[in-house]
Amino acid sequence: MCKNRLKQVVERFSLLFEGFSHQKLRGKMRFLGFALIVCVFSSLVYVSVSWHLFSATIGSRGVVKTLGVGVYWDEECVSAVSQIDWGVIEPGLSTNVAVYIRNEGNVPTYISLSTTNWDPPHTSEFMTLSWDHSGQTLQPNEAIKTTLILSVSNTLQNVTDFDLDIVIAQIG
Beta bridge partners of 103: 69
Q: 55 or 112: whose pLDDT is higher?
A: 112
Share of the chain above pLDDT 70, in %: 63
d(CA 78, CA 167): 20
pLDDT score for 171? 85
CA distances from 77 to 44, 71, 73, 82, 102 (A): 52, 8, 7, 13, 8
What digits encode the pLDDT tens for the residues 140-150?
Answer: 999 999 999 99
Domains of the chain by start residue, with CATH: 2-54 (no CATH), 59-171 (2.60.370)
d(CA 119, CA 59): 12
Phi/psi-derived region of residue 158, left when phi > 0, alpha when psi is between -120 and 50, beta in every other case: left
pLDDT band, very low/low/confident/very high, at 34 (cuts 50, 70, 90): low
pLDDT band, very low/low/confident/very high, at 77 (cuts 50, 70, 90): very high
Q: 20 or 143: whose pLDDT is higher?
A: 143
**What's the start-to-end Cα distance of the chain, in Å?**
82
pLDDT score for 46? 43
Residue 52 has pLDDT above 60, yes or no: no
Average model confidence (pLDDT) across the chain: 77
Edge-to-edge strands, sheet with 59-67 = 83-84, 59-67, 161-171, 110-119
CA distances from 110 to 2, 69, 90, 135, 137 (A): 75, 10, 33, 7, 5
Mean pLDDT computed over 144-167: 89
pLDDT score for 2? 60
Mean pLDDT computed over 74-100: 91
Nearest Cα to 58, choosing from 170, 133, 164? 164
pLDDT band, very low/low/confident/very high, at 63 (cuts 50, 70, 90): confident
Mean pLDDT computed over 59-71: 73
